[in-house]
Amino acid sequence: MKMITAIIKPFKLDDVREALNHVGITGMTVEEVKGYGRQKGHTELYRGAEYHVEFQPKIKLQVAVADDQTEGVIDAICGAANTEKIGDGKIFVTALEQSIRIRTGETGNDAL
């Protein structure tokens, strides 16, 4: 199993969710986060007081998948979240040791 963590632009969330549904992913966890990479922050100006805001609002999306789904999910996220502009985000893939569905006690791929 893999844990796929994607940082994406907030307005791309609906597109990404839809693309994931198409490749059979029916559950995910989403958080509103702030951060920056190559896309630096922006400037805000209030009555002559200028502030540089480094952190950009982003969405962090996490999906746990079976090993054979990994490539498809990555392609789906890349396809849907890409605007070809700086700041589109990143995808991190990590190994996932175990998963358990709390209600039934199912484990492994059955719990995904």
Partner 1 sequence: MMHCRQLVHRGAVLAWVGAIALLTPAVASAQEIDGADTAWILTSTALVLFMTIPGLSLFYAGLVRVKNVLSVLMQCFALTCLMSVVWFVAGYTIAFGSDGVEQGMWIGDFGNLFFAGISIDSVNGTIPASLFAMFQMTFAIITPALIVGGFAERMRFSAMLVFSTIWMLLVYAPVCHWVWGGGWLGEMGLQDFAGGTVVHITAAVAALVAAMIMGPRRGFGHVAMAPHNLTLTVAGAGMLWVGWFGFNGGSAVAADGSAAMAILVTHLSAACGALAWMAMEWIRHGKPSVLGIVTGMVAGLGTITPASGSVGPAAAVVIGFTAGVVCYYATNFLKNKLRVDDSLDVFPVHGVGGILGTLLVGVFCSTQLGVFSGNGFSDGIESIGGQLAVQATGVITTIVYTAVVSFIILKVVDLTIGLRVTEEEETQGLDLVLHDERGYDL
31 near partner 1 (CB under 8 A): no
The least CB distance from residue 8 to partner 1, in Å, is 24
Q: CB–CB of 80/18 below 8 Å?
A: yes
The least CB distance from residue 45 to partner 1, in Å, is 6
Strand arrangement of the beta sheet that strand 56-65 belongs to: 29-35, 56-65, 2-8, 89-95
The least CB distance from residue 52 to partner 1, in Å, is 8
Residue 34 CB contacts under 8 Å (≥ 6 apart), including other chains: 55, 56, 57, 58
**Closest CB to partner 1 among residues 52, 85:** 52
Tell me which of 38, 47, 85, 103 binds partner 1, using CB under 8 A. Answer: 47
Distance of CA 61 to the CA centre of its chain: 3
Q: Which stretch binds partner 1 (CB under 8 A): 31-39, 50-58, 60-68, 69-77?
A: 50-58
50 beta partners: 45
Which residues of this protein are in contact with partner 1, per CB under 8 A? 44-49, 51-53
